[in-house]
C-alpha cells in the first residue's frame, strides 16, 4: 500500500536499511494476525520510524501510525520483534499507535487512523476482527496501554465500522437515547489545549465551541455516538467527548449567598450539606468550583458550578 492512502490517511515507505535488516526483519513470514501496540511516548510516527530502523536494538515493528500519517517499515512477509512472544514475533504483524502519552486529541486521531489501517489490512488478507489482538495477550505486558485504558472493545468497534463501511451518523444517534445527568466534570486535555464542543455526539459533527483545559462544565445528559463512546451534553451549547473529561467532587465546601434575601435558602443548603455559610465578600474565584453560590446570577461562573446542589435542594 506504499504511496497510497487509506481513507484519506497518507502512507509513507520508511524501510529498514540493508545493514540492519538481519536484525530488524530476520525471517520470512506468512502473517496470521495483527498485534496492536502503543508507543508510550509523545513522538510522531515519522520519528518512531526513524529511530527504529536506525538503532541496533532487536525491537522492531511493521508499521506505526499517528494523527497525520502511516509509516511502513517492514513488509508483512518478514517478521519483526514486537510482542515478547516467539510465536507472535514470527507470525503476527506489529502495528504501533504513536503519541499515546501526548495530546489526547492527537492520540484520538491516531487511533482513528490506526483503525482505518488495520481494517484495510484485514480486508487485504480476507480476515475478520478476530485476527486483531493486543500486545498484552501475547506476553502479559499492559500494551497498548492508552487504548486499553480507553477500552479495547471500543477500538475493535472502530475497526468494525471501517470494515463494514460508515453507518449513517444520525441513525446511530437516534438509536441511542440520551440518559439524563445532573453533575459537573472537568476538562482534561493537557495544559494549553482545548476540547471541541460539537453540534451532535460524534467526532464527525460540526465544531461549535471549545473549552480550555481545566474548565468545569455542567452535564445535562450523557449520549452515545456511532461507536458507543460517551458524550456529555452541555445545556444550550453542544456535546463534548467524555473521554477527555474527569469527574470532580461536586459537593460544596462552603455556601455563599449574594444578598440578605438569599440568606435563608443558603443557610438551608449549608445545613443539609453540613458546611458553613457566608455572605459573598468578593474574594472567591471561579476556580473554586465546589463553592455553592445562591443568588447573584450575574456571577455566571459561580452560579453555573452550583447548579447541581441548587437543583437538588430548591
Which pLDDT value is given to residue 227?
66
* Per-position pLDDT tens, the chain of length 314: 444 677 778 899 999 999 999 999 999 999 999 999 999 999 999 999 999 999 999 999 999 999 999 999 999 999 999 999 999 999 999 999 999 998 888 999 999 999 999 999 999 999 999 999 999 999 999 999 999 999 999 999 999 888 887 544 444 444 567 888 877 888 988 888 899 999 988 877 888 999 999 888 888 899 887 667 789 999 889 999 998 898 876 666 777 777 788 788 778 878 877 878 888 776 655 445 456 666 655 554 444 444 444 444 43
What span, in angstroms and rounded, lies between the C-alpha atoms of 99 and 106?
Answer: 7
The third-level CATH classification (topology) of the domain covering 5-164 is: Lysozyme-like (3.40.80)
104-125 helix and 152-164 helix, angle to the nearest 10 degrees? 50
Q: In angstroms, what CA-CA distances link 201 with 88, 109, 232?
A: 38, 16, 8
What span, in angstroms and rounded, lies between the C-alpha atoms of 75 and 104?
Answer: 30
DSSP-based three-state secondary structure for 106:
helix
**Exposed, middle or buried by CB within 10 Å (0-12, 13-18, 19+), for 160?**
middle
CA angle 160, 163, 164 (to 5 degrees): 85
* Best CA proximity match to 53, nearest among 63, 66, 38, 43: 63
What is the pTM assigned to this prediction?
0.59
Which pLDDT value is given to residue 265?
78
Neighbours of 307 (CB within 10 A): 18
* Best CA proximity match to 240, nearest among 202, 271, 204: 202
**CATH code 3.30.70.920 for 169-247:** no
Which pLDDT value is given to residue 176?
61
Domain-wise residue ranges, the chain: 5-164, 169-247, 254-313
Q: Phi first, then psi: give them for residue 18, nearest 5 degrees.
A: -55, -40
* Best CA proximity match to 219, nearest among 176, 185, 187: 185
Cell 509509516, residue located: 71
Which pLDDT value is given to residue 175?
53
Helices (H), 187-260: none
Q: Phi first, then psi: give them for residue 280, nearest 5 degrees.
A: -65, 125
Which pLDDT value is given to residue 185?
86
* Best CA proximity match to 115, nearest among 141, 152, 87, 83: 152
Tally the C-alpha atoms within 13 A of residue 310's C-alpha that lie toward its C-beta: 19
* Grid cell of 15 as nine digits: 524501510
User: In terms of C-beta distances under 8 Å and separation of at least 24 residues, what long-range contacts does 159-168 make, across chains too?
Assistant: 159/115, 159/118, 159/119, 159/122, 159/129, 159/132, 160/129, 161/115, 161/226, 161/227, 162/7, 162/115, 162/116, 162/118, 162/119, 162/120, 163/119, 163/122, 163/123, 163/129, 167/226
Amino acid at each position: 500500500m506504499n504511496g497510497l492512502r487509506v481513507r484519506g490517511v497518507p502512507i509513507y515507505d520508511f524501510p529498514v536499511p540493508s545493514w540492519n535488516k538481519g536484525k530488524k526483519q530476520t525471517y520470512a513470514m506468512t502473517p496470521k494476525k495483527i498485534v496492536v501496540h502503543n508507543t508510550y511516548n509523545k513522538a510522531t510516527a515519522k520519528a518512531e520510524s526513524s529511530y527504529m530502523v536506525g538503532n541496533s536494538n532487536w525491537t522492531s515493528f511493521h508499521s506505526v501510525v499517528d494523527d497525520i500519517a502511516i509509516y511502513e517499515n517492514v513488509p508483512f512477509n518478514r517478521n519483526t520483534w514486537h510482542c515478547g512472544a516467539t510465536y507472535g514475533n514470527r507470525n503476527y504483524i506489529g502495528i504501533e499507535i504513536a503519541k499515546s502519552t501526548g495530546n489526547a486529541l492527537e492520540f484520538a486521531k491516531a487511533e482513528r487512523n490506526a483503525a482505518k489501517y488495520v481494517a484495510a489490512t484485514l480486508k487485504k488478507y480476507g480476515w475478520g476482527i478476530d485476527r486483531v489482538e493486543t500486545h498484552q495477550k501475547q506476553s502479559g505486558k499492559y500494551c497498548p496501554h492508552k487504548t486499553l485504558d480507553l477500552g479495547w472493545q471500543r477500538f475493535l468497534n472502530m475497526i468494525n465500522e471501517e470494515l463494514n463501511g460508515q453507518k449513517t451518523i444520525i441513525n446511530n444517534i437516534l438509536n441511542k437515547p440520551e440518559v439524563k445527568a445532573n453533575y459537573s466534570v472537568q476538562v482534561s486535555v493537557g495544559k494549553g489545549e482545548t476540547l471541541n464542543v460539537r453540534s451532535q455526539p460524534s467526532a464527525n459533527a460540526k465544531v461549535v465551541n471549545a473549552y480550555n483545559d481545566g474548565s468545569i462544565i455542567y452535564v445535562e445528559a450523557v449520549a452515545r455516538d456511532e461507536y458507543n463512546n460517551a458524550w456529555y451534553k452541555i445545556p444550550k451549547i453542544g456535546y463534548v467527548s467524555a473521554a477527555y473529561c474527569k469527574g470532580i467532587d461536586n459537593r460544596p465546601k462552603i455556601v455563599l449567598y449574594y444578598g440578605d434575601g438569599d440568606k435563608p435558602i443558603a443557610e438551608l443548603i449549608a445545613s443539609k450539606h453540613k458546611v458553613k455559610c457566608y455572605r459573598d465578600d468578593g474574594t472567591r474565584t471561579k476556580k473554586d468550583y465546589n463553592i455553592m453560590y445562591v443568588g447573584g446570577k450575574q456571577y455566571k461562573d459561580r452560579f453555573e458550578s452550583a447548579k447541581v446542589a441548587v437543583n437538588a435542594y430548591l
